[in-house]
Structure 1
Amino acid sequence: MTTPQINQFLQDCIIHDDASDTGITPDAFYGLYVSWCALNLKVPLPDPAFRTALRLAGLRMERNGKNKKSAFHGLRMTGLAAVDYILNSNP
């Protein structure tokens, strides 16, 4: 994934929301990315390479003290890829 591509993905799909308690889990972040790739006719990277790209873009996972789950806190999904991911990931 090139820097412009990850930047475009983040611009299209992520909103900074410090009021959010939950953030985005790593699995949900990857699912959102796969949805974005499908909508934009791009081939998705494997999950480990995607997580590396997020780290290189300056995003860090943190553990939530309440439920001990890792997430990208202060972020929220938005846009068409978010709708696609949510509709296709819930039974």
Structure 2
Amino acid sequence: MADSQYDQFLHEATTIDGVSGSVLGRDCLYGVYTSWCFLSRAVPRSEDAFWAAMKEKKIRPGHTHLRIKGPAATDYILSSYPGLV
């Protein structure tokens, strides 16, 4: 499973941020994943399956230094805060 949907998501929609000290929470990370799926025309897996995969990759919400990036981040932010548009 070297190039799974989750690997692609992490590569295309997140980056490691060891400087700012900010961390992604559970809602944000899954929200960006669903935005990434929509933009990639991929079928999103269930939230339970997503978190099981993230646990396997040692990614824990609130304890990881991931930052969102790219079109999925933009889509997620604009969808979450419609007053920005």
Q: TM-score, normalised by structure 2?
A: 0.85
CA distance in 2, matches of 1:3, 1:55: 17
For the 8 Å contact 1:20–1:76, the answer to whether it is kept is no
Residue ranges of structure 2 left out of the alignment (5+ in a row):
none
1:78 paired with 2:78, answer no
Say if 1:3 and 1:48 are closer, same or farther in 2 by CA, change over 3 A. farther
Q: Which amino acid aligns with 2:49?
A: A
1:25 match:
25
Letter in 1 for 2:66: L
Equivalent residue pairs, number: 81
Query: Identity over aligned residues, as a percent?
Result: 38
**Matched residue, 1:50:** 50
Tell me which protein shows more helix as a share of its residues: 2
Cα distance in 1 for partners of 2:26, 2:78 equals 18
Structure 1: state its 5+ residue gaps.
62-70
Moved over 6 A (4+): none
Amino acid at match of 2:19: A
RMSD: 1.6
Q: What TM-score results when the alignment is normalised by the length of structure 1?
A: 0.80
1:24-46 CA-to-partner distances (Å, cap 9, x unmatched) read 10110000000000001111111
